[in-house]
Each structure stands twice: as structure tokens, then as C-alpha cells.
Structure 1
Amino acid sequence: MADDRPQTPTLDRVQSPADLKRLSDAELCRVADELRAETVSAVSETGGHLGAGLGVVELTVALHAVFDTPRDRLIWDVSHQCYPHKILTGRRDRIRTLRQKDGLSGFTKRSESAYDPFGAAHSSTSISAALGFAVARDLGGAAEPALGDAIAVIGDGAMSAGMAYEAMNNAGHLKRRLFVILNDNEMSIAPPVGAMSSYLSSLYAGAPFQELKAAAKGAVSLLPEPFQEGARRAKEMLKGMAVGGTFFESLGFSYLGPIDGHDLEQLLPVLRTVKDRATGPMLIHVVTQKGKGYAPAETARDKGHGVSKFDVVTGAQRKAPSNAPSYTKVFAQALLEEAAEDDKICAVTAAMPDGTGLNLFAERYPSRCFDVGIAEQHGVTFAAGLAAGGMKPFCAIYSTFLQRGYDQVVHDVALQRLPVRFAIDRAGLVGADGATHAGAYDIGFMANLPGMVVMAAADEAELKHMVATAVAHDEGPIAFRFPRGEGVGVEMPERGEVLQIGKGRLVREGKGVAILSFGARLKEVLEAADNLGAQGIAPTVADARFAKPLDRDLILALAAEHDVLVTIEEGAVGGFGSHVAQLLADEGVFDTGLKFRSMVLPDTFIDQASPSDMYAVAKLNAADIQAKILTVLNVDNLADRRA
């Protein structure tokens, strides 16, 4: 494998950003070329976010060559573009551990390096954090190392989120020296949408470019061909609109751009000039191409946003075959089937049409599918308005991103009892993306809301039933959660059936011990039950289906008929098990001597690893469930039990 790695003689001389300052501009160009090849080579072995990093290779080199990191705080928004940054900041020897257990995080992480001053994996936080660093600098905050400049690198997709404008508004008011690099690649994960995208296009629809006097060689050259079509469309849409950084200047920023983000002959002199002369907040508009320099990424629909291990020559990804469909695909197809018979069904996603499967819905029913951009708060309230207007909106958002719209879930949906259907993808632990993307909290924060129905799919067939149940539920909000990845391979029904709200199902009858599962750990529960059966213990197994409302009859019957009751869920403490415990306490069941245990995700953030390894850390695999029950029964082994 090592023999296939690219030759990188100039990059080999760079152990830290300080080494870049000893290189000529021509040598920095060679570093950029070799850094791109090294990034492709590394990600081919690990998988991960490829296109975003390739798009900022030259920008990464230029920023580290000009600014004095880590004294100057370089903050990457979302930070899935940070692999080249990690290679240049002393982590090249570990770059092939990206997203692996005990390896480098796929995002910036404060505990990993002094060159990662602020952790990120969700979007649109960088300007707020950079402003915080700038004010801390002016107030004499950190002493070692003393704070220097603050530089936020934010993509045009991330600029669709309201938090970015809240930060810019505040920064313009405070007038602190601050640099915002707008990395405009016309693409976040999916093509960006909305008025801001059109506005940015208008800025480079006019040619020649704005010019920083005597600073940027070639700053009046035209954009490369990949960007010209978008610019032409925007120009037609926005005839008569003044071109320039007017919007950003109205927020109090000095505006410079747009400049070619792949041309170091432009980037280096511009950055050197603004570093020497800037006094207040400055926005530098840099135009880049996601996936730049690697043809398979450039031509991919998502520009190589997230890839599995792949062949460097062909770009072909090495994905293990599966006999079961993914949960996301099952959701998408089930929703299509329902929408074919109900024209009130519509769908909302926040910049994740492919990730949530709604790209299929958009192709079939474009007038009923809405990508609101990276704007979960707006997306939730928009869905609430759709529901109030008589539609049946499905708001499809990853668990980790729904956290960003929680006030809207409470205030705009639950309080008004509006029938918004929340499809919560990526529930539970997700593997290589680590703690930032774990769907650990939605059971707790959704099930504590009055009137909210909360379901979890135990398998792909159950998910299809839950889509049908959500369509039929008009009495208030309803949510259903499902994990990342493939289903368990169960037989699929032709159509989903409408489940009775608040009713679970008995999966296996036994005695002595009852295991009540909520969600996709049911497969592990059944495996644990089989193993216990070999030890003379025959647990009853039930699938709760609902965390809100609880199936009181089922739970109280299990408690009355068994000595031990154990709940299992892929969520943090305060979720399903806590609701069950509250019910048992209210009914005085604990006074009868029932032994109750609740198995949940531990009260810690679990770093990236394979999902199975993460669940092993969480102690929610079959062996852990089996061990828990043996411990409760005070059984060490089968010989002891027989004795």
C-alpha cells in the first residue's frame, strides 16, 4: 500500500505551518499539488469527506503560510474540509487513522491539536466563535499563547443558516479586527438553495472582478468555466441589481472579492495585504470548486462529499454488499407510496435531500418537496405553517441536526399541537462521524413534550408501518426514529399498516425475565435471549414501538408477570427507560419487589469507531444485554443456576 502512495518531496519538508514560511511562492504551489495528492491517497484508505478538503487545498496552504497559527486562530466551519489542515499541522503521520477507533477525528477537535482552536461538525458556528476569540484577544484573554487574529472559513452553504448572520451583525457592530473567508463553491452537501446563493452568484456574474489595488496579480481574470453557468443564470435573475459586496458592507464588513481560491498567485498577496492593513471585520470572498483536482470527485453528483474507501485510479468505492435495504431508502420509498395516494403529503429537508432520501421524493413530486438549506429552525417552523395550512408535512432531519431546531419543535409545533411528522434519521450511534453526529438525545427531548407521539423502528418493516402511521395521524405532532445503515433483512410488507397509537407488540413469550426494547436494538435483544436460552433462561421479549404514549397495559403486564424487567434503547438517560420507570413508580409496582433495569447510552460522548465498537463501549450489544440480565439474576454461570 505504501508503495502506491504519491511522491511528495516538497510536502515532506513541512512538519508544521512554520515550515511553510520558509518556502518560496513557487514551492508553496508544489506543496499544494502534493497536499492534494496526499489527501486523496489518505481518504482512499479510510473513507471520509473528500470533496470539501480538495476544494480548499490552496486556501489551506495560503492561510497557514500567511497567518501565524496556532497563535492566530483558524476556525473551519463544519470542518469536514480540514484533512489538508491536519496534514500541515503535525498530524500527517496519523492521517490514515482518520475516523477510525482511537484515530484522528474527521472534524476539528480541541483536544487533538493546538491548531484546532474550536471544535466543529455542525455548520455556521465559525463566525460566532471567531468573534469570541477576537473580543477575548482585545480583553486580554489567553496568555499562552497570546491570542492573535481570528479567521473563520465558512462555506456558502453554511451561510444559509441564520446563526451566521446573527454573528456578522454582532461583529459589524463591535468593529473588532476579524477575518471571514467565504468559501464559495456553489455546493454544500447538496447544491445550495435560496436568495443568498443567488446573491453570491450575482457577485461574480459581473466581470472583471473587483480588484485590491496593486495586491492581487490576476484579480481581474474571469472565473473558470465550472462557475460561469451559475453566474449567467444569476445574472438573468438579478438584472438591474447592483453588483458588489453591498450586503456584507451593510453589516459592517469590508468586502473583498471574489477571487480565485485555487490560484495562489491571487490568494497569497491578498491575504498578506489584508493581514497588514485590516483594522475591523473583513470578508474575503473566495471562489473554489469542491473536489478540485480529482476527476472522480469533480464529476460526482455530490462532488465526493462522503466516500467509502476507494480506488485512487478509478474512484470506485469499495462498499460491502448488503442483502437488506437501508433504513433511509425504506423511508423514502414508503413516503413515495403514501404520497402517490395523498396529494397533501409534502416533505421538508434542511440541505440533506440525498442523506434523508428525499431526493427521490423531489424527483417525483418537485412541487411538494422543499430543501430549506442549512436552516433547521426555519425548516421546523415552515413545516408547522404547512401543517396549519392543511398539508401533511414530513420534516426529515437527522437526529443530531434536529437539536438545532428544538425551540421551534416546542414552541411552534408541540404547543400548537400541529400535525408535523418528524422523520428522525441517524438515530443512535453512527460510527465514523463520532460524537458530533450521534443521535443520542432525541428520545428524551421529543418524548418530554405534551402531545408528541414518539415511535422507534425495530427493523425496516416496522419503519414502513410507522410512515403509514404518521400519514394517518392528524391529532398532533408525531415522530419516528430510525438508525443509519442497512436494515436487518426482515420480510417487507407490500404496504405499511397503520399502527394503533401507544401500543407495542409481544415478540417472544417466556418467563421470569422480560426485555422491553425500544428501537433498533431488538435484533441484539433477540440474540441475547437466544444465548440466555442456552443457559436455561427464557426471557419474554417485547417491542415497545412507542415511547410516548407508553403502552401502559403491556408494561404493567410485563411487570406483574415477571421478576425482572429490563428496557433497552439507543438513547441517553432521560428517555424511554425513564418514562417506563416513572410509570412503574406511579403505579407502585416497585413496592412488589420487581427488579427493574434500564440500559441506555452512557453519560459520555463516545468517539468515532465502527458502530459495533461504539455500541460495545456503550454496553448495548447482545453480550452486554445478556450479562446485565445474569447480573440482575445473580447468576454467574449455568452450573451455579442448576445448583
Structure 2
Amino acid sequence: MEKMRVDKEYINKLQKESQEIRDTLIEITSKNGGHLAPNLGVVELTQSIVEVFDLPKDKLLFDVGHQSYVYKLLTGRKEKFNTLRTKGGLGPFSDPKESNFDFFIAGHAGSALSAGAGIAKANPNSKVIVVIGDASIANGHSLEALNNIGENIKNLIVILNDNEMSIGKNVGSLSKFFGKLMLSNAYMSIRKDVRSAISKGKVGNQVKSVLERIEHSVKQFFLPSSISEMLGYQFLGVIDGHNLEELIRTLIVAKEMEGPVFIHVKTEKGKGYQLAEENKEKFHGISPFNPETGEVESGGKTYSNIFGSTLVKLAEKDEDIFAVSAAMVKGTGLGEFQNKFENRCVDVGIAEGHAVTFSAGLAISGKKPYIAIYSTFFQRALDQMIHDVGLQNLPVRFVVDRAGIVGEDGKTHQGIHDINMFLTMPNYKVLAPTTGKELEQMIDFSKNYEKGPLVIRFPRGKAFELDENILEPFEIGRWREIKKGKKNLYLATGAMLKEILDIEKELFKKGLDGTIVSCSSIRPLDENFIFNEFSKYENIFTFEDGYERGGFGDEILRFLNEKKMEININIIALDSVAIPHGSRNILLEDYCLRGKKLIERIEGSINGEK
């Protein structure tokens, strides 16, 4: 193999390319939104990997995949990069269906090391490179993989991208270990002196042995090499993640080593864009913004805001209330809670399973835990939700943010499985507020709910509101009529109440008007309403922004079957589990949950059409 030439001219060319890449990242994400800061931080690292390795014969995997924009630009997708995160355009994460340079799907943390190990085992003549962040590597899934890989897989290279950030600032002992001790001047100085003395032959074998033992002891105390080498990895680091020459020379060495190899790279999230460097969390994942000021257009009060502010008010009067998050305190509306009640706001990092069991421990001890996580990430804690909370019937409050169609983050992030998951678990009650005011009432109700686990799910974005005189106060197990009509009965849960109200006038013009009901209580159902009202209508529809099978409509069908009530139900829901990326508004229309297409779907159901 021809040796790479790493000279000044070559590095200067790559540095120029680095700046062009950063300019493109800022330009496109300011228009389309996206994960800006993580990608700004891995520009040089990604360039170096692409330069050194023979891709796609060699396989590159990104854990999470939100930092793969630079890789897309460097692997034949530059011309389409302006379509990033738009319907039909480039996806927000790594996806084999998009490019043969993407070897494994990404979106959730903790999968790359396990997948990489399997791919390396199956492809012994290729190098497999896994880029994983310092937050993701502390995930339980990642630690299992690190332990299993050991000395068994020789063609795997693990690159730790250490920027001391996940979405929010990293937490936990591993984070502190990586972040504070790894660059100890004391260790680096001793290491340099020891190596220099040994190499110059200024000491005898006995002193040499003593010095080596001292070096080993200091290294064990200070550097993550102690972990990686004990697990059977060859360790290289710490490498400046923005020094192209150092990166490339290190990767050339790693490519020739018999592995597994562990490379520790230090990067700065948001590198090269001052606004992102100063506010890394804001620019981790950001909506379209003004690149000059960094300002994002305000969308009004969101469901997350309402949850957070309501919980703060309750916690001021009740010291038993705790908030638990998994690396997304601000994203779930808990920023103010954390500021006011630091000891009662627990961020466990990217460890959703631990977050659930930790909350179970709080609940069984008489506390009132609220665990706030995005819908898609609750999937990662399925066993703990069943085993540790459900079977013991513990009063853990599950706050499911970003429920339903989320939008631009695509198929790995759509929140369409939470209703189905929770309805199959023992003892869970499931609520879906139809307005912001109703969410506030539910949180207030939940503070004294001790009968078991309680789920409150709500969508991303601005809260929908009705005239307060229209909607009666929330009561678990009770639905409320919003508009009285005849012939047709429309049962809407969660965000779908707004959608049916938006087409109410068009339905009336088509002779399809009817009674519209806010069904925020999914379990328990409003059994009195079902017994007393269902028989009055010719056509009954349920509306939900989740997966049809095992959802709200199915729950009603199961109840009707148990009670031997022969009533037909038309379920309006999602019949696909792979909802692509695109704006939430467009996707709702595409899947016939909004506007004209929703009207057509209602008409088709009545006329027996598919």
C-alpha cells in the first residue's frame, strides 16, 4: 500500500476544505434547522477518517448519527445537502437506504459499538471505525459492547469524540473522569520525562523498571487508557480533534495496528461558529435561525413549557416532587425546575432504563417522581417500565414529550409507539391532553395520584387552546363533548382534537358534521359515555397520531368486544411504523391526519373505501 503523504500543502488544502464545510453547515442548518454544534465539532475528525480509510470497503459508523452531516458532504451527497431534513431530501441521520457509505442506521445512542463489533466480525478484511461521543459511551448498551469486544475483534477502531456534551452538559462519574483528569499536566509531564530518560539510556534497568511502574500507576489514576487497556484495547490519545496533521498521522498508525484500537479525541462542540461555541446546548439541535444573530423565531408557549412551569409551581409547595431526565433537561421543559430545585432534579445522562428504575426507587420510598423523556427514547426502557414499575404498580409519573409525528428528525425519532407500549403494560393509566390548559390540569391532578404508574403524552410544539368555557375541567376516565351533533361521532385524543376542529366547517358542508368529543383519557376509557352514547350514532370515528395497532381505537374495540357490544368503529391513525423525515405539518397531511386528506379519509370510511 502506498504511504500517504502528509505535508504542509496537503494539510493546507484540507484546512481550506474545513472552512468551506463549516460555512455550508451554517448556511443549510440556518434554513432547514438541524444538529449544528455536533457537526461543527467533528469537521476535521471526519475529514481525516475519509482521507485515511478506504470507504466504503472499510465501514464507518456514527453512534447516534446526528453528527454525520460532514460525512454526507464528503461522500457524494454535497449536491443534495440543501435538501437536508426536508421531505424527500437527505435524512437527518445515517441510513443505508440513503447511501452505501452509511452501513448501519443511526438515531438512538448506544447502538454503534454493538453493531460495529458484529460488522467487524463478519468482515475480517475490512477496518470498522466507530465514532462515539463521551455521553453515548457511558450508555449501558455501549459499556456492554466495550466489555464484550475485548481482545476478540482485531479490525475494530473505536474513536471517542470527547466534547464534554450530550444534548445538555454531560453528567455522572464517567463524564468527570474523562473531562477533568484526562489532560492532567502532572501525568503528561511525568510521562514525557520517563520516556525521555529511558530512550536516552540515562538509567539502569532497575531504575527503568521503577519508572515504568510509576508511569503505569499514574496512568491508571489519570487517563481513560486504564479502562481501555484493561478491556483489551490498544490506546492512542489524547488527540487534538481539530489538528488535521495529528489526526491523520494517528489514524494511519491505527489503521496498521492489530486491534481493537481505542483513540481518544478531544473536540469542541460548535467549533468555528462563535454563537454555537458560546451556546452549545442551544445549537445542538436547532430550528431555522438567523445566522448573524442566532435568533430563532418564537413559536409561542409549548406543551413542554406548560409542563415545566406547572411542575415548578407544584414543587414549591411539595418537597416530595422530583424531576428525572435523561440528558434533556431543557428540552423537556425542566430548565427552570433544575435552577430552583437542583437537588430534586436528576439528570441521569443517556440512560433511560436507569432513569425509570431510579424513579421506581424514588416512588417506592414515598417520593413523587416525574420522569420526562421524549416518546421515541422511552422505547429504550421497555423492560424497566414493565418489570420495575408496572409489576409493582408504583406511582411513577411518565411525561412523554414529542409524542406523535415529530417531523424533521425522521423515522428513528417519530413518537408513534408510546400509546401501544403503555397500553400493553400492567397497571398503567394513559392520558393525552387535547389542550395546553388540560395538560396543566393533568399535572396538577397527578401530584396526588398514588394508584400506580401514570402516563401523560403530548406533542412537540405550540400548545393548542380552546375557549376555557368550552372545555370542562379534566377528570380521569371522563370524556367531554366539545360540539354536539347527530349521525356521526368523532372521538379525538391528544393533538387530533385540533385537527378535527380545523375541518369542522368543511365536514358540515359535506353533510358529515357530528358530535366532537375530547378523549384525553385513553386508559381508563369513559365507559359511561360508551354505554350511553355510542348507540345513538351511525358512524363512530377515533382519531390518534400514533400507530393504529394496539392504540386508542384498538383499546375501544377491545372494550366493545369484552362487553359484547356489536358496534363498528372507524379508526383513523397511522398504519406505518416508518414515518420519514419532513415537517410535521406536511407529514400529517401525507398520512391523512390533517385537512383535505383527513376529510377524504372520513368520507372513504363512510363509503367503504380504503
TM-score relative to the length of structure 1: 0.86
Aligned with residue 621 of structure 1, among 573, 594, 604: 594
Match of residue 131, structure 2, among 153, 162, 165: 153
Aligned partner of 1:110 in structure 2 is: 96
Classify 1:525/1:210 alpha carbon distance in 2 versus 1 (closer, same or farther; 3 Å): farther
Question: Is 1:129 equivalent to 2:123 in the alignment?
Answer: no
Q: Say if 1:406 and 1:47 are closer, same or farther in 2 by CA, change over 3 A.
A: same
Matched, 1:247 2:223: no
**Residues 291-347 of structure 1: CA deviation (Å, up to 9, x unaligned):** 0011111011516111222333x243342x44x411100110111111112111100
Q: Does 1:33 align with 2:19?
A: yes
* Residues 1:439 and 2:415 aligned together: yes
Q: How far, CA to CA, are the matches of 2:155 and 2:7 in structure 1?
A: 23
- Matching residue within 244, 255, 264 for 1:275: 255
Give the counterpart of 2:50 among 64, 70, 74: 64
String of CA shifts for 1:397-447, please: whole Å, max 9, x gaps.
Answer: 110000000110000001000000000000000111111110000001101
Instruction: Name the CA distance, whole Å, in 2 between partners of 1:169 and 1:240.
Output: 20
Q: Report SS of the residue matched to 2:105.
A: coil
Determine the structure 2 residue equivalent to 1:306. 285
Alignment of 1:574-593 (within 5 A): 574-590=550-566
SS at match of 1:424: strand
The whole-number CA distance in structure 1 between the counterparts of 2:554 and 2:309 is: 33
Q: Is the 8 A contact 1:513 1:563 kept in 2?
A: yes
The one-letter code sitting in structure 2 at the alignment partner of 1:389 is S
Change (3 A) 1:535 1:250: same
Counterpart amino acid of residue 14 in structure 2: L
SS in 2 for 1:565: strand
CA RMSD for the aligned pairs? 2.5
Q: Once superposed, which parts of structure 1, at least 4 consecutive aligned residues long, lie more than 6 Å away? A: 18-23, 210-213
Counterpart amino acid of 1:376?
A: E
Worse overlay, 149-158 or 442-451: 442-451
**Which amino acid is 1:607 matched to?**
P
Q: Distance in 2 between matches of 1:173 and 1:497?
A: 64
Instruction: Confirm or deny: 8 A CA contact 1:516 1:565 kept in the other structure.
Output: yes
Q: What is the aligned partner in structure 1 of residue 211 from structure 2?
A: none
Once the two structures are TM-superposed, the CA of residue 614 in structure 1 deviates from its matched residue by: 0.7
Which residue matches 1:337? 313
Question: Is 1:566 matched up with 2:541?
Answer: yes
In the alignment, what sits opposite 1:232?
A: none
Q: Give the distance between the partners of 1:300 and 1:570, measured in 2 at CA.
A: 33
Match of 2:582 among 609, 616, 628: 609
Residue 576 to residue 210, structure 1, CA distance change in 2 (3 Å): farther
Partner residue of 1:190 out of 139, 158, 168: 168
Matched letter for residue 250 of structure 1? M
**Which residue among 289, 294, 297 is the counterpart of 2:273?**
294
State the one-letter code of the partner of 1:307: I
Equivalent AA in structure 2 for residue 274 of structure 1: A
Q: Return the letter of the residue paired with 1:67.
A: F
Give the conservation status (yes or no) of the 8 Å contact 1:347–1:369: yes
In 1, Cα distance between equivalents of 2:95 and 2:274: 30
**Contact between 1:160 and 1:196, CA under 8 Å: does it hold in 2?**
yes
1:177-576 equivalence runs, <5 A: 177-201=155-179, 202-206=181-185, 209=188, 242-244=221-223, 245-276=225-256, 278-302=257-281, 304-312=283-291, 314-319=292-297, 321-322=298-299, 324-490=300-466, 499-573=474-548, 574-576=550-552
Residues in 1 aligned to 2:23 and 2:187: alpha-carbon distance in whole angstroms: 32
**Which residue of 74, 84, 102 maps to 1:88?**
74
Distance 1:31 1:208, change over 3 A: farther
Aligned partners of 1:248, 1:510: CA distance in 2, in Å?
68
The question of whether the paired residues in 2 share the 8 Å contact of 1:211 and 1:257 is answered with no
CA distance in 1, matches of 2:498, 2:69: 36
Q: Residue 224 of structure 1 aligns with which residue?
A: none
Q: Distance in 2 between matches of 1:303 and 1:257?
A: 29
- What one-letter code is carried by the residue in structure 2 that aligns with 1:30? K
After superposition, the C-alpha distances for 1:156-211 in whole angstroms (9 at most, x for unaligned) are 01122111110001100524321000000011110000010111121123456599
Q: CA deviation at 1:553?
A: 1.3
Q: Structure 1 regions of 5+ residues with no counterpart?
A: 1-17, 139-146, 214-238, 637-643
Q: Distance in 2 between matches of 1:535 and 1:293?
A: 57
The structure-2 alpha-carbon separation of the partners of 1:150 and 1:23, relative to structure 1 and needing over 3 Å to count, comes to farther
Question: Is the contact made by 1:387 and 1:419 (CA closer than 8 Å) also made in structure 2?
Answer: yes
Conservation of the 8 A alpha-carbon contact between 1:212 and 1:256: no
Alignment match, 2:196: none
Q: Which moves more between the two structures, 617-626 or 57-66?
A: 617-626
* Aligned residues between the structures: 578
Larger mean CA deviation between 405-414 and 252-261 belongs to 252-261
Cα distance change on mapping 1:177 and 1:210 into 2, 3 Å: farther
CA distance in 2, matches of 1:553, 1:21: 79
Deviations 1:346-396 (A, max 9, x none): 000000011101111100111100000000000000000000011000000
Deviations along 1:193-238, one digit per CA (max 9) or x if unpaired, are 001011112112345659999xxxxxxxxxxxxxxxxxxxxxxxxx
Q: How high is the sequence identity, in percent, across the aligned residues?
A: 39
Cα deviation 1:47-69 (Å, max 9, x = unaligned): 21100000000001100000111
AA aligned to 1:279 is: E
Alpha carbons 2:438, 2:474 under 8 Å: kept: no
Distance 2:11 2:151 in 1: 36
The alpha carbon displacement at 1:25 in A equals 2.9
Does the CA contact (< 8 Å) of 1:53 and 1:83 recur in 2? yes
Comparing 393-402 and 354-363, the one that deviates more? 354-363
Q: 1:472·1:498 contact (CA, 8 Å) conserved in 2?
A: no
Q: Distance in 2 between matches of 1:344 and 1:558?
A: 41
Q: What residue identity is the alignment partner of 1:629?
A: I
Gaps of 5+ in 2: 193-217
- Matched AA of 2:71: H
